[in-house]
Structure 1
């Protein structure tokens, strides 16, 4: 397993310094999880006594959909009220998601791996972020054979415990990699409104929404996207155009 605290040796920059740190979301942006977040939540909720098909179940599932991209423990704090219940729900969710990942129900967004490799070959530092816990993030990376693909991987616990929409993971990437000397030179890409908020609140100069995940163009632009892309594969072109 890779450590979240020690990034790989940065590539020697060959591109303008203005865009040399790229912070990418995982599920929905670089990873196509086929609705596994919802499926894992439904399994976890049932284990905690939320009966499928009830109004309570539907309301909770709707909140999960609306808050895609947020730290999962934060979602469960809202849904279940107490810290104890939230932690039980989060553990059940992580277990259920891990079971689904182990079942092979996960794949890269088409072209995502090649895009990350291209960005790094251009001299850019790439950081993968998630709202999942480290154990789940590592399970996804292992399933895809992505350990070591990016320069650094971060989860909310690596940034003081606060996930999106807080800017903490983006700022942690900025501080830990040292890839750029101005946060306005950071690029953030994600598929949710919370990704956009996190990027804008961090001060990142380019915040790209992608349409391969949870939220549509209106939600992404409404929460601060500077660009909206059909896929993360368009990002290298956008970076060259905006250099």
Structure 2
């Protein structure tokens, strides 16, 4: 006698796991990037905001190391210091970066328009709200009460240095949310992020993924700068960002968190039809 056991989850969704900067707070994702520019400037090596955005989504120590390995940055480093960047150099920049990030993270971290309404809608639907971030725990200890005062208090927050296994693009922070939130199946979870590495995190965890093209790192403009663009300029920048997130494997790409409820409804319908991430 044989038995057939199906592992397919048919819904409904149980949880949404959000990134922070560029996803729920900090339209344009300036807190992690501008502070990195300032930290590099402190040691006399200019980097551009565009360069600082390339490794976005990584844990900050990894972000600094990867930034230093970009060809143009590595060449300027070699020219200035006479040797490639070392792990000791990464540690030195990280030590400069951390107090600046803790001091300034709240300055940039107002909720993105529509974020609080969307999260309220998801909670009304019975969804749990998780989160994970490239920020280390020290930064999150500063940001969490600021965000709570503004109206955002997720049920779970995993910081980039909380886990021995590591951070993005590995699945571990997303899966830690699943454990802490008590979600029964990873297919009952949606990961929402504005970076390719954050989308990879969700995919590696076996989750549905939603990329945010306009509000985050890929467009990289403040809300005021975005609204000042012509419709044609907005369309061009949106398309470039959406293409990058789609190429990273995002199941859906939308402008911002404000557009998420319709996607949640569609994923629930797909699960009910037996589809999986």
- Short-chain TM bin: 0.7 to 0.9
Aligned residues: 218
Unaligned runs of 5+ in 2: 1-9, 69-83, 219-240, 269-277
The residue aligned with 1:126 is 129
1:3-61: CA deviation from partner (whole Å, max 9, x where unpaired): xxxxxxxxxxxxx84311211000001112552322201221123x2333xxxx35xx5
| Partner Cα distance (1:203, 1:81) in 2 | 35
On the 8 A contact 2:27/2:216 being kept in 1, the answer is no
With over 3 angstroms needed to count, the CA separation of the structure-2 counterparts of 1:156 and 1:101, relative to structure 1, is: closer
Unaligned runs of 5+ in 1: 1-15
Task: Please tell me whether residue 220 in structure 1 is matched to residue 214 in structure 2.
Answer: no
Task: Please tell me whether residue 196 in structure 1 is matched to residue 199 in structure 2.
Answer: yes
Please point out which of 16, 20, 31 is paired with 2:25: 31
In structure 2, the residue corresponding to 1:19 is in which secondary structure? Answer: coil
In structure 1, the residue corresponding to 2:116 is in which secondary structure? Answer: helix
TM-score using structure 1 length? 0.81
Matches within 5 A, 1:1-243: 17-32=11-26, 35-47=30-42, 49-52=43-46, 57-58=47-48, 62-78=50-66, 79=68, 81-102=85-106, 104-144=107-147, 145=149, 149-160=153-164, 162-179=166-183, 181-204=184-207, 206-211=208-213, 212-215=215-218, 216-243=241-268
Q: CA RMSD in A?
A: 2.2
On the 8 A contact 2:110/2:150 being kept in 1, the answer is no
Q: Point out the structure with max Rg over C-alpha.
A: 2
With over 3 angstroms needed to count, the CA separation of the structure-2 counterparts of 1:165 and 1:148, relative to structure 1, is: same
Query: Is the deviation greater in 217-226 or in 91-100?
Result: 91-100
Query: Is the deviation greater in 108-117 or in 213-222?
Result: 108-117
| Partner Cα distance (2:253, 2:155) in 1 | 24
| Partner Cα distance (1:148, 1:218) in 2 | 29
